[in-house]
Amino acid sequence: MLVYTVRRVLGAIPVLLLASVLTFVLIDVSGDPLANLRVMQPPPDPEVIQLQEERLYLDRSMPERYWLWITGIGGNGDIGLLQGEFGPSTQSATYDIGANIAERLGVTLRLVGAATVFAIGLAVLTGVVSAMRQYSKLDYTLTFVGFLALAMPTFWFAGIVQQAGVGFNELLGTQFFATVGDGTYQAQSESGFGLVTNALAYMTLPTIVLMLTSFASWSRYQRTSMLEVLNSDYVRLARAKGLPNRVVVRRHALRTALIPLTTVVAVGMAAIIDGTVLTERVFQWRGLGEFFIQAVAANDSFALMAWLMLSGTTVILANLIADLLYGVLDPRIRYE
């Protein structure tokens, strides 16, 4: 398994390299980072524009800029992914892209991790129940709820959940749910039980939004996969031997039915990251979602490329983990 893991990690390197090329080219041709500066009234001095072009490496050719962005060789010490530098920012000469990502990464990972875990659990539960109660009222109800969650735009659903939290707080006469902010600064003055309650207060509503918008499609995949497994020959044989239905489902059907879901979840990490941007915006979290929106507003090319590369790396890691889980879910799979 170690050899297989190393091979998969090495195989991810060309994928990351291709992703970096596509990311750089798409961002580079999308517009001029200094467009707002050039159209200012009164017009800035040509020397100011020239200095900004040199600081942002816009005076170099596209291949040279890509080489600088990856390696940092020939730069001013503020660029080079391999050196841990993401490049200069158009927002400010003192704006450190790497430091801002490091500051916000924990906030976003907290939300993504909680929402993913709960979404997987809910998708497995509802998918298995729907498959075992196929065409029942419960199956139709869960299907309706799933499609409803799938059809709702994330930003709209987040706003509805936020307002529901406000109404719930007013009903109780206390701040039970935090509807704005991520609670990072409040947590610095808390410890023990207070830290737990603070985290629950701030994370509950955003996690519900991201969880429900993610679980819907996963639940449908789990239902379909479970139905296929329940109708397979080896499951019918297990039932013919007289095994209880719960044993058949838990020991024989469920693990096999989880394999397609593992792939879907790995691929779906991109959708979760996209949903995080809108969810953090509505609840005013200082995470990578806000970082992305600020980068778009400022036409900050290097910040956008950093966010895209980080997102792409997350999806690749999720797929690597999914590959390794196949053997755990199905012992018949061998790593060669």
Cβ contact 216:150 at 8 Å? yes
Q: Which domains does the chain have, with CATH numbers?
A: 97-329 (1.10.3720.10)
Query: What mean pLDDT is predicted for residues 182-198?
Result: 66
Cα separation, 288 vs 157, in Å, equals 20
Query: What mean pLDDT is predicted for residues 207-215?
Result: 91
What are the pLDDT digits (tens) for 22-37? 999 999 998 888 888 8
240 vs 156, 204, 235, 236, 256, CA distance in Å?
49, 45, 9, 6, 19
Give the residue with greater pLDDT, 130 vs 36. 130
Half-sphere exposure of 121 (CA within 13 A, CB side): 8
Query: What mean pLDDT is predicted for residues 288-295?
Result: 94
pLDDT at 136 over 90: yes
The DSSP letter of residue 45 is P
- pLDDT cut 70: percent of the chain above it: 95
Cβ contact 212:120 at 8 Å? no
Average pLDDT, the chain: 89
Cα separation, 199 vs 21, in Å, equals 39
pLDDT at 186 over 60: no
Task: Tell me what pLDDT residue 23 has.
Answer: 95
Task: Tell me what pLDDT residue 308 has.
Answer: 95
3-state SS class at 334: coil
3-state SS class at 312: helix
pLDDT at 161 over 90: yes
Give the residue with greater pLDDT, 207 vs 331. 207
pLDDT at 214 over 90: no
The DSSP letter of residue 250 is I
What are the pLDDT digits (tens) for 230-289? 988 888 888 888 888 888 888 888 888 998 899 899 988 988 998 999 999 999 999 999
Task: Tell me what pLDDT residue 17 has.
Answer: 94
Q: 86 phi and psi, to 5 degrees?
A: -95, -10
